[in-house]
Amino acid sequence: MSGWAEAADLVGATLLLLGCLQCLLGVIGMLRFPDVLSRSHAATKPQTLGILLVLVGVALRLRHGIDLGTLALIVFFQFLTSPVASHLVARSAYRTGQTGSRGLLRDDLDPQLSPGERPEE
Amino acid sequence: MTTLNAVEDAMLAASAVMVLLAGALLLYRIWYGPSMLDRAVALDVAAALIIAGVSVKAAQDGDSFYFPVMLVLAFLGFTGSVGIARFIAVRDRPSVRADGREDHR
C-alpha cells in the first residue's frame, strides 16, 4: 500500500513537471509566432494539454474523493470554455483583417462574406 | 525514501519556476500587444497559468484549500477574452503605415 502511494506521488510530480513544461512551451510559441491566428493556435492546444497533465498530477498526489471530483469539474469546464474563446478570437481576427492573409493560397470564406458578389461557379 | 522525497521536491520547485517564467514571458505579450486580440489570447493563457500555479502550490502543500479558486477560474476565465473579441476588437481596425504594413496598435 505504501509502495503504491510512493509510486503515485512520483508519477504525479512527473506529470506536474511535464504539464508546466508544456505551458511554458505554449507561451514561448505565443511570443515567437507572427500573427493572431498562429498565436492563438500556439496558446490553446499546449495550454489545454498542459492543464490536463497538471491536474492529473495533482489528482495523483492528493488522493481524496472530493478533490478528484473538483479536479474533474475543472478539466470539464476548461475543455468546454477554451474552444469558445478561441473560436470568437479567431472569428473576430478574420473579420477585422488581422489574419496575415498574404501567405494564404486560397480563402474560401472571403466570397461568403462579401455581400454583393457571388463566388464564380 | 528521503532521496525520493528530495527528487519530488526538486521537480515541484522546477514546475513552479517554469510557471513563473511563463507568466513573465506572457507579460511581454500583454504589454506589447500588438493588437487587442493578442492581449485577449494572452488573458486566456494567463487564467490557465494561474490554474497551473495554484495546482503546483496545492501539490507542494498537499492541501486542497484553493481548488474552488481554480474551479471559478476555469469556469469564468474565458469571459474576458470573449468580451474583448466580441465588443472591443471590432472597433480596433488596423491602420496602414506609410510603408504599406498594417499597424495593429
- Would residue A114 count as lying in a domain? no
* Structural domain that includes position A25: 3-98
The predicted complex's ipTM stands at 0.83
- The three-state secondary structure class of A117 is coil
Q: What is the Cα–Cα distance from A14 to A6, expressed in whole angstroms? A: 12
Domain ranges across chain B = 1-92
Burial degree of A81 (CB within 10 A; 0-12, 13-18, 19+) = buried
CA A117, A118, A119 angle in degrees (round to 5)?
Answer: 115
pLDDT score at A56 = 93
**Which string of DSSP letters, residue by residue, matches B58-94?**
HHHHT--TTHHHHHHHHHHTTHHHHHIIIIIGGG-PP
CA-nearest residue to A74 within chain B is B71
Task: Pick the closest to residue B18 from B43, B55, B44 (CA basis).
Answer: B55
Contact: A47, B45; criterion CB under 8 Å: yes
Which tops the pLDDT comparison, B34 or B31?
A: B31
Which residue has cell 493560397?
A: A105
Helix/strand/coil for B95: strand
- Considering only residues 26 to 55 of chain B, which have any Cβ-Cβ distance to chain A shorter than 8 Å? 26, 28-29, 35, 37-38, 40-42, 44-45, 48-49, 51-52, 55
| pLDDT score at B105 | 47
**Tens digit of each residue's pLDDT (9 = 90 or more) over B58-74:** 998 888 899 999 999 88
Calculate how close chain B gets to A117, using CA atoms only, in Å: 23
| pLDDT grade for B93, boundaries at 50, 70 and 90 | low
